[in-house]
Amino acid sequence: MVGIYGAVADGMRLIDRKTRALTPDLGERLGEGFLEETGVPKALIKAVRSETSIAVAELAQWGRRSHLAGQPVACERKSLADALHRDPVRSRMAEALADHPFQNQDDTELKRLKRRFDP
């Protein structure tokens, strides 16, 4: 994670920016759970560890289950909720946004918060 994502991940205790490692609590739990719950192909783990190859079709199939815009798996929901609620400001903002879900593709967090404070 680099740039602003690194700062957010560090603040949420998902990574330790000094060591560039996942934190033993949330980071490792999220990483291991994500791989398990999305059914990471064994060939992908082998390719990462030993610089072997993986078929593009197999990688694409896993990508359809695990892409960023997909439905979060259970470990993601739990880990991110834990991280959000460790910080009182993030916790309040998450609760405010939860009360006002997205209405369409063009909706933004700012529009949702405006609905919250300017009914």
Q: Residue 100: give the domain boundaries.
A: 87-119
Rounded CA-CA distance 96/117 in Å is: 9
Residues 6+ apart with CB under 8 A from 25: 13
Q: Are residues 65 and 31 part of one domain?
A: yes
Q: Are residues 94 and 58 part of one domain?
A: no
Per-residue pLDDT of the chain (119 residues; tens, 9 = 90+): 667 788 888 888 889 888 889 999 899 999 999 999 999 999 999 999 998 999 999 999 999 989 888 888 999 999 988 988 888 988 988 888 888 788 888 888 888 888 877 76
State pTM to two decimals. Answer: 0.71
Count structural domains, the chain.
2
Q: Are residues 71 and 49 part of one domain?
A: yes
